[in-house]
Amino acid sequence: MPSLGLSLEAWQRFALIGAILVAAALPLLVKNFTVFQLTLVMVYAIAILGLNLLTGINGQFSLGHSAFYAIGAYTAAIMMDRFDASYLLTLPAAGIICFVAGFLFGLPALRLEGLYLALATFALAVATPQLFKLSLIERWTGGVQGIVIQKPDAPFGLPLSQDQWLYYFTLAVVLVMFWAARNLVASRTGRALMAIRDNPLAAAAMGINTAVYKSLAFAVSALYTGVAGALGAIVIQFVAPDSFTFFLAVSFLVGLVVGGVGSIPGALIGGLFVLFVPNIAEAISKGLAWAVYGVILILVIYIMPKGAAGLVRLLARRFLRGLSSRS
């Protein structure tokens, strides 16, 4: 569908470049607290993207991604606090540990489907804060008190505040992670994952090793969420067991659905929703903040049954059709 002499792909590329330019300029224009919030949006976006790879692409449910987020965050906090490791090292470490943890959890979870898997992961989410509170490992985790860590300064004497530097650092991680996710989905592996989502029996009949791919999807998804957790710990400078409750897992799920299941850029919109909408709800009514939040959530589902990504796609198609019919 060519319009103004440009294909849909070209329009998409323009939108992407524009978005990156805006993202790069933002921290120089707004105050430090907003920069901090936007950094958190990107952190959540990475976690939601991880959940999306599992749910949207491979069709497996998880209500337990707060657990992987927590493991990532604790990995970063313990490395920086107890071993004086550089924050740069914590991201790959968190990623690897969560990859292994996700694979190990994914293996037995293979036997579970749909709601049963939802329950098993639900159990994981509820159990995780308790495990981190355990007195046996208090020496490392700081028990109920948690761990306070230091924010890194900008390197090479760059004239940036700590918040601004972390923003750019997170932005770079986001770009790498989103690029990798896009390539994964477009690859042979990605098609196998989607085949399993759409019809597991047919996929198996075509020679796809569903067990391996499903565990792998779990592992990669946990890796993304773990990296997000490590970043989140560095940005917030604090980890404690009660920051990683079931509520966090639910937030990821809400972000996933609002952004658009199966859509990679949708994860960013999901991150925005997860961070800002509770604040908006509170501004509307303090006493009934969560009721307002619930109403907003229901309205969003009614208005955009396929998430923000679905709506954007629909609007873009209308817009392009309008352009091409005029010319």
Partner 1 sequence: MELFLHQLLAGIATGGIYACMALAVVMIYQAIDHFNFAQGEMAMFSTYIAWQLMQWGFPYWLAFTATVVISFIGGALIERALFKPIRTAPILSQIVVFIALFSILNSLAGFIWDYTIKSFPSPFPAEPILGNRLISAHDLGMIGVTLLLLALLYLHFRYTRLGLAMRAAAANPDSARLVGIRVGWMVALGWGMASAIGAVAGMMIAPIVFLEPNMMLSILLYGLAGAVVGGLNSPGGAVFGGFAVGVTENLAGTFVPVVGRELKLTIALVLIVCVLMLRPAGLFGRAAVSRV
Q: How far are the Cα atoms of 146, 169, 219 from residue 81, in angstroms, in the given order?
A: 11, 20, 26
Q: How far is the CB of 252 from partner 1 (least distance, A)?
A: 12
Complex with partner 1: residue 26 or 297, whichever CB lies closer: 297
The string over 110-131, giving b where at least 16 C-beta atoms fall within 10 Å of a residue's C-beta and e elsewhere, is: eeeeeeebbebbbebbbebbee
Contact call for residue 8 and partner 1 (CB under 8 A)? no
For partner 1, the binding residues in 81-110 under the rule CB under 8 A are 108
Report how far residue 22's alpha carbon sits from residue 14's, in angstroms, rounded to the nearest whole number: 12
Report how far residue 152's alpha carbon sits from residue 165's, in angstroms, rounded to the nearest whole number: 8
Q: Using CB under 8 A, which of 253, 267, 272, 274 touches partner 1?
A: 253
Contact call for residue 30 and partner 1 (CB under 8 A)? no
- In sequence order, the β-bridge partners of residue 6 are 3
Complex with partner 1: residue 85 or 204, whichever CB lies closer: 204
Report how far residue 18's alpha carbon sits from residue 181's, in angstroms, rounded to the nearest whole number: 20
Phi-psi region of 2 (alpha: psi -120 to 50; beta: other; left: phi over 0): beta
Q: Using CB under 8 A, which of 112, 194, 236, 284 touches partner 1?
A: 112
Q: How far is the CB of 220 from partner 1 (least distance, A)?
A: 20
Give the interface segment with partner 1, choosing from 147-155, 232-240, 284-292, 311-319 (CB under 8 A): 284-292
Token code pair at residue 254: 């809400």
Complex with partner 1: residue 174 or 222, whichever CB lies closer: 222
Binding site for partner 1 (CB under 8 A): 55, 108, 111-113, 115-116, 118-120, 122-123, 126-127, 130-131, 133-136, 201-202, 205, 250, 253-254, 256-258, 261, 287-295, 297-298, 301-302, 305
